[in-house]
Amino acid sequence: MTTPIVFVPGLLCSAEAFMPQVTALWPLGPVMVASTLNGETISEIAAAILADAPPRFALAGISMGGYICMEIMRQAPHRVEKLALLDTSALPDTPEQALQRRALVAQAGKSDFATWGEALLTSILHPSRRTDATLRAVNRRMAMAVGLEGFARQTAAVIGRMDSRPSLAAIRIPTLVLVGDSDALTPPERAEEIASLISGSELHVVPDCGHASTLEQPLLVSSALMKWMQD
């Protein structure tokens, strides 16, 4: 029996964040991109995803999606067969980070949201890709799909998330930890920390890549996920 795959997008991201991987991994079995718009906390979002997910599945999340995946592993570890954590961190926000996030929400409310959201998402890319018209268009569509209200709710959930480090040692399934080598938001040392706490996990650093690895280096990320699914 094939293992279904559940992808969990990041902050202000829609299913488009994983479209290259959905296409690449579709031959391996059912693929689902979860909604992150249901729930006020990371715990509630994780519970909503679990309610719609198959009984057992492989789980992959990027950035905020990684925070949600770590919460899913606390709520229902028996349902997850494989885990992939992409461009994420196990740390909670610092007070300074929380202030910055609240300031971004306030700024977003005073701006043309589509343009603002596109610029915010584009700013996390590798510098060589920030003028890429295709990626900018994807970022604009994703921002509009989530919307200001969704962004504010997701941001509040991210600010309130717990420290996931104490729970990582309990993970005993095949785990891929992947990060862009130029990820400025969740840099490689955050991925190294996660990998060091999950026994037997594999750390994969993607070259010439910022925070949005699934879109910036889709072939390399899809290849790593194919290997993760087939091992």
User: pTM (2 decimals)?
Assistant: 0.97
Percent with pLDDT over 90 in the chain: 99
Rounded Cα distance between 182 and 179, Å, is 8
pLDDT (0 to 100) of residue 110: 94
pLDDT (0 to 100) of residue 52: 97
Structure tokens at 177: 């930890």
Percent with pLDDT over 70 in the chain: 100
Question: CATH 3.40.50.1820 residue ranges in the chain?
Answer: 5-92+162-230
Rounded Cα distance between 37 and 21, Å, is 21
- Reported as a single tens digit per residue, the pLDDT across 160-212 is 999 999 999 999 999 999 999 999 999 999 999 999 999 999 999 999 999 99
Residue in the block written with tokens 């709520």: 75
Yes or no: say if 208 and 73 are a contact pair by the CB < 8 Å rule: no
Structure tokens at 100: 């910055």
Sheet of 31-33, strands arranged across: 31-33, 5-8, 57-62, 80-86, 175-180, 202-206
Identify the DSSP state of 199: T
- Reported as a single tens digit per residue, the pLDDT across 35-74 is 999 999 999 999 999 999 999 999 999 999 999 999 999 9
pLDDT (0 to 100) of residue 111: 92
Q: Which of 201, 213, 202, 205 is nearest to 168 (CA)?
A: 201
Structure tokens at 227: 């290997």
pLDDT (0 to 100) of residue 202: 98
pLDDT (0 to 100) of residue 207: 98
Q: Is residue 1 predicted with pLDDT exceeding 90?
A: no
Q: Which of 126, 109, 125, 108 is nearest to 117 (CA)?
A: 108
Which alpha helices (DSSP H) does 123-209 contain, by range?
Answer: 133-159, 165-168, 188-197
Q: Tell me the CATH architecture of domain 5-92+162-230.
A: 3-Layer(aba) Sandwich (3.40)
pLDDT category at 157 given cuts 50, 70, 90 is very high
- Average of per-residue pLDDT across 105-112: 94
